[in-house]
Structures are given as structure tokens and as C-alpha cells.
């Protein structure tokens, strides 16, 4: 009699072999290749590249907000100077 673990391993090996020889394996390979080509044509970026761009955008937005505040303050000073109030 075959021990349970050996029987299970043999069964698993037989199923794996069966799947490897079946049309499903060919379909899987073809789908993976097709999807890989499609993704390459889409010019996608990695998550890391996306996160870097998000961080850069946040810094630019913060800098733009600071510059807008400076412009607003300068415009207020100009208005005061033009009206003759120091």
C-alpha cells in the first residue's frame, strides 16, 4: 500500500503533467504572450514611477500655492503704495 503523502504527491504530479500536456497550457502561454505584447504597446509605467510622479506633483502644487500667496501679498502692497498709504 502507498503511504498517503506519497499517493497525494503522485496524484499531484499526474494532474500537473496532465495540465502541462493539455490545450489549457498552450492557451495560457498564448494569452500571457498576447497580454505582454498589449501591455508593452500601451506604454505603461511601474507603480514606483507613478509614485515618484505623484510626489513631484505634490511638491509642485505646494510651490505654486506658496508663489500664489507671494503674488497676492505683493499685489496688496502695490495697491497700498499706489493709494498713498504705506
Domain ranges of the chain: 1-44, 45-86
% the chain with pLDDT above 90: 40
The alpha carbon torsion through 15, 19, 21, 27 (nearest 10 deg) reads 180
Which of the four pLDDT bands, split at 50, 70 and 90, describes residue 10?
Answer: confident
The alpha carbon torsion through 37, 42, 47, 53 (nearest 10 deg) reads 150
Q: Are 19 and 25 in contact (CB under 8 A)?
A: yes
d(CA 60, CA 53): 10
Which of the four pLDDT bands, split at 50, 70 and 90, describes residue 1?
Answer: low
d(CA 86, CA 80): 6
Does the pLDDT of residue 82 top 80, yes or no? yes
Does the pLDDT of residue 79 top 60, yes or no? yes
Does the pLDDT of residue 3 top 80, yes or no? no
The alpha carbon torsion through 28, 30, 31, 34 (nearest 10 deg) reads 160
Query: Which pLDDT value is given to residue 9?
Result: 82
Which of residues 86 and 10 earns the better pLDDT score? Answer: 10
Amino acid at each position: 500500500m502507498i503511504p498517503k503523502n506519497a499517493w497525494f504527491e503522485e496524484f499531484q504530479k499526474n494532474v500537473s503533467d496532465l495540465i502541462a500536456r493539455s490545450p489549457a497550457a498552450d492557451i495560457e502561454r498564448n494569452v500571457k504572450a498576447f497580454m505582454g505584447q498589449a501591455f508593452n504597446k500601451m506604454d505603461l509605467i511601474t507603480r514606483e514611477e507613478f509614485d515618484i510622479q505623484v510626489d513631484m506633483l505634490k511638491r509642485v502644487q505646494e510651490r505654486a500655492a506658496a508663489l500664489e500667496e507671494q503674488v497676492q501679498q505683493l499685489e496688496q502692497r502695490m495697491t497700498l503704495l499706489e493709494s498713498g498709504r504705506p
